[in-house]
Chain A
Amino acid sequence: MTDWEAVVGEHVQIVRRTVYRLVGNHADAWDCVQETFLEAVKIDRREPVRNWPALLRRLATVRALDLLRARSRQRDRRSTDADPEQATSREPSPSCQAEARELADRLRVAVGQLPRRQAEVFCLICFEQMTSEEVAEQMGISPTAARMLLSRARRRLERLLRLSRGAAREEGSRT
């Protein structure tokens, strides 16, 4: 019998940070946290969980990516791809931080455009700092496949970031 109070108490902050890093605001992050634990309940019913932190970080990443992809689809519909501020809803910041923040937001937008598994592997390795072996175990794939997905994700992200930088500059020169 799983002690859910203990599991939640021990891991909720990790899960929240994982999600927040990707979605960038409180309200969305908390929604994803709740969904993450409810998904964990279902999994725990089916099989014993051996590695709670790894499982929860993966589930949290998947939920957050779902949200990023939904935002990406909304942006597509509104045809405002080059507006990274729509990805998050934060106040402007001093210029040196603003540049980093703008870059981070562009990366979030780009991650939302990746194929599901590529995005998952990229986030777990690059943001959650899991090894490709850990990611492979969680996703039920081989470490080689995980590394391959990461490599494809990086190539595609580099291209998307370059494109979005060009679009942002173009937008800046018009205004």
Chain B
Amino acid sequence: MEDRRGFNPDELLDRAVDAVLREPIPDDVPADRVAEFAAAVRQAADQPSPISLIRRITNMKLTTRIAVAAAVLIAAVGLMSWLVPGRGAALAFVNVAEALTNVQSARWKTTTLTKRPQGEVVTDHRIGMFLAPSSERMETTVAGVPGSKTIAILEGRKALFLNPLLKQATVVNVKINVEGFPPEAGPWGRTFLGLRETAVAAQSGKLGETEPLGTRVIDGRRAVGFRIQHDRTETTIWADPKTSLPIRVEYAISGETEIHTVMTDFEIDPDLDKSLFSLKVPEGYAVLDTVQLELPKTPLILLAKTLGMAAELNDGVFPSALLGEQGHYQNLPRLGTAYVERKYGKDFAAYMEKTFGKDAAEMPEAGEDRTEILREMAEIRKEAFQLPATIAGTHALLRNLSPEHDWHYAGKDVRLNTPNRPIFWMKDWMRRPEKQGKYEVIYADLSVKEVGPEDVPEVPASEGSSEE
């Protein structure tokens, strides 16, 4: 043994190690007990027990969890709510829009239950705060995971994620290349603003079908309810008939993975200190990382990326459909997990633990090892932020495809990188007047180009606004 070759009886530690090694160990376990135990182990191994990525994430060390939690937050509160205009539910009572527009600050509680296909349920609790004009603070705790609290301070294009336990901070800046996007607007801090804009959309006449639910008593208060079914999302809003302000809001997303989010305990215009929304790293916190996210000028680039990921996972062949039961849209919730597992091995948490799970005190203080570890950490963290954003953007785009977009999918049976082969095309996603008549096209090499009416692809599409 290399480190005992130099055994020195004068050294206390060497003598102690020697004493441990020389201690007698009691007799072996009887054979019948071993056999009984082996049978029990086999039985345990036969039990189906898939471990989801989310469960693995909750089991991670906190130092890694903050980055992943932050990434999930992007998908939850960011791109979904703004990427495609005209989205969302509508309220039948227009006063709600006015009431919400006048709100200067708010506090509420959010509980999200995510039910996975295997039946596993993950619950997280958040306390949300809003300060006009556009600041938001979310304090998230994963149920049953002590010390899992993370704080996200979000405003426009900047976000600060804090881990109060480890006193670590992650700063995320978003660069938006979207043409025509308002200069100050960004994906962050959209929870309360999104609710407000939904009400405004109702007022402006962009209404979906709204089902009145009548009156109900919630937390001792009379509330008027409305349900809006939009694709696979069902939004239910219960509002105080006197103030028109929300008392309870529910979002239910059906599909293979079911997500049910409830916002309750609304406090309107409470006194909230500005410092709660400061994007400055608090004193005593170490900056774990600064991440620069870039959003492309069109969501078709995001769709192209996810189609490429899906093809990579399918022997190089694009999905047979975009929508429908087996379509790309339905598989998006699993795509990230599958892609990460393929790239980093089946056990993402083990990979993260091996790579990043080093206590600060045990990190090499200098040298190649440290440089290599830090470089890899930075790359993975960047991907941890970018991947959910890409998937969320695709999700939002597909959810909002309408006949007006004149969209067509022709990726069925097409292989990745087939030359000059269009697989998807549609009119401008924002329906901007200056883009009238133009189409954006995704090719099998994942490039995205804008073409005029004369260059609209002529290959047969298997799915689209007017199916051929």
Residues of A whose CB lies within 8 Å of any CB of B are 2, 4-5, 7-9, 12-13, 16-17, 20-21, 26, 30, 33-34, 37-38, 41-47, 100-101, 103-104, 106-108, 115-118, 125-127, 129, 131-132, 139-142, 144-145, 148-150, 152, 154, 157-158, 161-162, 165
Do residues A161 and B16 form an inter-chain contact, with CB atoms below 8 A? yes
With the chains together, A16 CA to B28 CA distance in Å? Answer: 8
Do residues B26 and A107 form an inter-chain contact, with CB atoms below 8 A? no
Do residues B355 and A21 form an inter-chain contact, with CB atoms below 8 A? no
With the chains together, A58 CA to B42 CA distance in Å? Answer: 21
| 8 A Cβ contacts from B320-370 to A | 345-347, 350, 353-355, 358-359, 361-362, 364, 367, 369
| 8 A Cβ contacts from B1-45 to A | 1-4, 11-13, 15-17, 19-23, 25-26, 28-29, 34-35, 37-39, 41-42, 44-45
- 30 A-B residue pairs with CB within 8 Å: A7-B41, A8-B34, A8-B37, A13-B28, A13-B29, A20-B25, A33-B37, A37-B41, A38-B41, A44-B45, A45-B45, A45-B51, A46-B345, A47-B347, A101-B23, A103-B15, A103-B16, A104-B23, A107-B17, A108-B20, A115-B359, A115-B362, A117-B358, A126-B4, A129-B1, A132-B3, A141-B358, A148-B364, A158-B11, A158-B12
Q: Does B49 sit at the interface, judged by CB under 8 A?
A: yes
Q: Chain B nearest CB: distance from A171 CB in Å?
A: 18
DSSP class of B's interface residues: helix, strand, loop or mixed?
Answer: helix
Do residues A161 and B38 form an inter-chain contact, with CB atoms below 8 A? no
With both beta carbons as reference points, the residue of chain A lying nearest to B20 in the complex is identified as: A104
With the chains together, A38 CA to B37 CA distance in Å? Answer: 11
- Residue numbers in A under 8 Å from B41 (CB-CB): 4, 7-8, 37-38, 41
Do residues A131 and B2 form an inter-chain contact, with CB atoms below 8 A? yes
* Contacts A17-B25, A106-B16 given; does A9 touch B2 at CB 8 Å: no
With both beta carbons as reference points, the residue of chain A lying nearest to B23 in the complex is identified as: A104
Q: Chain A nearest CB: distance from B37 CB in Å?
A: 6
Q: Chain B nearest CB: distance from A78 CB in Å?
A: 23
* Contacts A38-B41, A46-B350, A132-B2 given; does A161 touch B17 at CB 8 Å: no
* Contacts A8-B37, A46-B346 given; does A140 touch B369 at CB 8 Å: no
With the chains together, A158 CA to B313 CA distance in Å? Answer: 53
- Residue numbers in A under 8 Å from B354 (CB-CB): 139-141
Q: Chain B nearest CB: distance from A70 CB in Å?
A: 16
With the chains together, A46 CA to B351 CA distance in Å? Answer: 11
- Residue numbers in A under 8 Å from B3 (CB-CB): 125-126, 132, 150
- Residue numbers in A under 8 Å from B347 (CB-CB): 43, 46-47
Do residues B35 and A41 form an inter-chain contact, with CB atoms below 8 A? no
With the chains together, A116 CA to B15 CA distance in Å? Answer: 23
With both beta carbons as reference points, the residue of chain B lying nearest to A158 in the complex is identified as: B13
Do residues A12 and B29 form an inter-chain contact, with CB atoms below 8 A? yes
With the chains together, A139 CA to B357 CA distance in Å? Answer: 10
- Residue numbers in B under 8 Å from A131 (CB-CB): 1-2
Q: Chain A nearest CB: distance from B42 CB in Å?
A: 4
